[in-house]
């Protein structure tokens, strides 16, 4: 059996997109094959799938069933590039929303509409070390504002907060930069990511809460590159996009 794989890179995050028609029962084997391939250098794997509803161009389902902002805008850009159009709507695992993708093919950029945070509470190892925990359907993140990345803090927060969540991020940030760490309960791994779209969105949403109504733009330097988050705020309601440059590599055929 063969599969067609596109590697799409967004701010250092390399998403392997397995094209439509690949059987679901073979996905686990496909993920192991892709992640073990040193030439692909994939950070995550998504599977192109048949949309559940009308009005969208495609659907991407992540290997762990999560929502991944970088993968969504990578997939949307890939579809737009193939059809030579500048926008489309897609579905994704981890959210029920149909998400609009806006592309500039000449500049190789895409920006994706995001499911916004739904709840925030304070969490941490003890009363003296509490941080905002932002959750939404498809992602959960602890935010460490104006704090330098500290591995001891990361370890403690993953131990005391991360257990209930399949994919869980801890992000050290200010208005110009963000350093993301992501925990996967599936294999117990903790990884410093090149960039994290939903983490960047959560941080920008957090920083926008006390700003006036209007549009707020955050250009965040991350280990793998730059992400641009745009937040629209009006009367306590928020909408947002995550964008930046995109690189599409030629498709590869892999056998199982």
**Where in the chain are the domains?**
2-114+245-255, 119-241
- Pairwise CA distance, residues 204 & 84, whole Å: 31
- Pairwise CA distance, residues 90 & 56, whole Å: 5
Examine domains 2-114+245-255 and 119-241 and report if their fold is the same. yes
pLDDT of residue 201: 97
pLDDT of residue 132: 94
- Pairwise CA distance, residues 45 & 30, whole Å: 9
Q: 10 Å Cβ neighbour count for 203? A: 29
- Pairwise CA distance, residues 151 & 141, whole Å: 16
pLDDT of residue 166: 61
pLDDT of residue 165: 64
CATH homologous superfamily, domain 119-241: Diaminopimelate Epimerase; Chain A, domain 1 (3.10.310.10)
The pTM of this model reads 0.93
Q: Containing H/E element for 208?
A: helix 197-208
pLDDT of residue 148: 81
CATH number belonging to domain 2-114+245-255? 3.10.310.10
Query: For the segment 12-38, what is each residue's pLDDT rounded down to a tens digit?
Result: 999 999 999 899 999 999 999 999 999
Which residues does the chain have with pLDDT short of 50? none
Query: For the segment 128-145, what is each residue's pLDDT rounded down to a tens digit?
Result: 889 999 998 888 899 999
């Amino acid at each position: 059996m063969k599969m067609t794989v596109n590697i799409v890179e967004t701010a250092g995050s390399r998403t392997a997109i397995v094209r439509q028609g690949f059987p679901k029962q073979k996905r686990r084997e496909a993920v192991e094959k892709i992640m073990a391939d040193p030439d692909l250098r994939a950070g995550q794997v998504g599977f192109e799938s048949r949309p559940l509803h009308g009005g969208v161009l495609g659907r991407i389902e992540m290997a762990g069933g999560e929502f991944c902002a970088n993968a969504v805008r990578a997939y949307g850009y890939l579809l737009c590039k193939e059809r030579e159009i500048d926008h489309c709507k897609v579905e994704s695992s981890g959210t029920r929303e149909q998400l609009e993708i806006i592309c500039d093919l000449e500049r190789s950029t895409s920006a994706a509409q995001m499911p916004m945070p739904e709840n925030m509470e304070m969490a941490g190892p003890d009363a003296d070390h509490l941080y905002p925990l932002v959750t939404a359907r498809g992602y959960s993140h602890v935010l460490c504002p104006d704090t330098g990345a500290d591995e001891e803090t990361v370890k403690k927060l993953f131990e005391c907060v991360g257990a209930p969540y399949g994919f869980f991020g801890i992000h050290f940030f200010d208005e110009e930069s963000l350093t993301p760490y992501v925990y996967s309960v599936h294999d117990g791994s903790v990884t410093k990511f090149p960039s994290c779209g939903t983490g960047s969105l959560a941080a920008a949403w957090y920083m926008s809460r006390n700003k006036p109504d209007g549009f707020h733009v955050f250009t965040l330097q991350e280990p793998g590159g730059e992400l641009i988050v745009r937040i629209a705020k009006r009367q306590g309601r928020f909408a947002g996009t995550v964008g930046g440059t995109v690189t599409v590599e030629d498709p590869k055929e892999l056998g199982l």
